Structures are given as structure tokens and as C-alpha cells.
Amino acid sequence: MAEVAIKSTRDAVRWGLLLSAMAVSGFRLPRTYGDFRGWQEVRFSDPSAAELYRINFTVNAVGIAIIVVLAVGAFYLLRPPAPKQP
């Protein structure tokens, strides 16, 4: 039977950051999708409401992208060092 290696605190932090980033992104995604649909529905009939929907969509989409990029970056920066080759 294979032995399970003891995981470090660094691995727990890595996976915790990645999981929390995905949770935050998932929480923001329905609101972003709703703003996108609202923008598409009213963009020709009511330009001022369309602009508000577009701004909300853009802010949420950029926020999701920033959160995911930072989490993936931290995930790779905190990976364990490579073993030394003899």
C-alpha cells in the first residue's frame, strides 16, 4: 500500500486560495450573466439603461478575471520547490 506523504501548510494555502477564488467567481457569475442579458435586451430601446447594464457587466467581468488571475498566479508561485537533481 502506498504511503500518503504529509502535505505542507503551503499546499493547504495554495489550494485554499484557488478554491476561494473559484467560489468568489462563481458567486459573481450569475449577476454578471444577468447584466449581460439585460444589456442585450435594452441596448437598442433604452440607451441609458443599456449603458448601466454594460458598465455593471464590465466591472463584474473584469473583477472575475482579476480574481482568477491572482489566484492562479499565487497557486503557481506557492508550489513546492523542485527536487534537486544529482
pLDDT at residue 86, rounded to an integer = 67
5-38 pLDDT, tens digit each: 556 788 888 889 899 999 999 999 999 999 999 9
Write the burial class of residue 17 (CB in 10 Å: 0-12 exposed, 13-18 middle, 19+ buried): middle
Is residue 85 over pLDDT 80?
no
Q: What are the φ/ψ torsions at residue 78 (nearest 5 degrees)?
A: -95, 10
Is residue 79 over pLDDT 70?
yes
- Predicted TM-score (pTM) of this structure: 0.78
